[in-house]
Structure 1
C-alpha cells in the first residue's frame, strides 16, 4: 500500500502528486495540516524527522524529500521517465529542476517566512517582497535554461522532472501576483503541463480537504 502524507498547498507535496498521477500509481492521501502545526506532532516527526511534508509511505516504509520520492517512483515505475538516460540531458533536466527545488523553494517556505517575522520583525509586505524576489531571480535564470523550440514543455513534448517542479512554483508565483511577462517559455510550459489531465488533477484547489 502506498500512502502520501500531504498538504494541499505544499509545493513539495504538489510535485509528488504530479509524479504519482503521471505514473498512474494508486495511493491514499493523508492530510497534514501545516497551518495547524500538525507537521510538528510526534507521529509526523516519527515518519519525517524534519517535520516536513511530503512523506511517501510504502508498505510501512517512509520516504522523505520530494525529489528522493520522485527518484524512487522513477526507479519503480519508469514510464513515463522523469529524467533522460543520456548523461548530459539528465544533468540539464536536473539543473532546471534544482533551480526551483534547491534555490527558490527552500528559502520561501513557511518556516523561513515565520523566521523572518519572529527574528527580524518582517511584516506581511516584507515577507511578500522577499518571496517575490527569489522567485523572480530563479525564474530569470530558468527562462534562459529552458530550451527554445524544444517543445511546449520544459521536457519537450512530454513532461519531465523540470516540469514537475515548475508547475507548483508557477502556482505560487500567481498566488503572490508576480508579473510573468518576462518568462514566456515558463508560462507556455506551465500552460502545456496543466493541460495534461494527470497534472491538472494534482492542483491544490482540486485536492484541498473540505472545511
Structure 2
C-alpha cells in the first residue's frame, strides 16, 4: 500500500471546498498543516472509538478550529476557541443549517478544554488536537497513517508558531483554557511530543 492510500480525502462538496478555502486563506502555513493533520487523526479516532460522525461536520471542525488562535483581544470573548467557533459556525450555517452549525461551534469552542467531550465530532476533534500537539494516544493510531500524514502535511515551524500563539493567548485572555493550560506547564508535553522529534 502506498503512503497516500492511508489518508482520508476531504468530503467532495461545495461546502467542503469553501471550508478548505477559508482555512487556506486565514491560517498560517504551519497551522494550516496542523489542521490537515487533525482531519486525519480525527477520522482515525472515529474508527478507534467506534464513533459515527458526519464527514462534513468533522471536516469543518478540524479545518477551522484555530481560526482565531492568537487573534486580537475581543470584549465579547474570553477564549480564542469560542471566538473561532462563532466564525466557523456562520460558514456552516450558510450551507448546512443552524443545527449542524451548532455541532461544529460546540466542538471548536471546547477543543482546548481539559475534559473530553461526549458528542462524537467534538470528541474526535479534541482527541486529534491532543495527538497533534502533545502526542496523546499516538499508539492507538495505525503507523502507516502516521507516516503518511506526517509526510503529506509536515509540521515544520508548527512548534514555534503554536508556542508563540499560546503565549499570546495567555497574555490577551488570561482566564481562557489555553492560558490556564499554558501556565500549568503545557510547554513540557508539547516539547516531549514524539511526533515533533
**Do the two structures share a fold, i.e. TM-score over 0.5?**
no
Higher percent of residues as helix: 2
Would you tell me which structure has more strand in proportion to its own residues? 1
Larger Rg over CA atoms? 1
Q: TM-score, normalised by structure 1?
A: 0.30
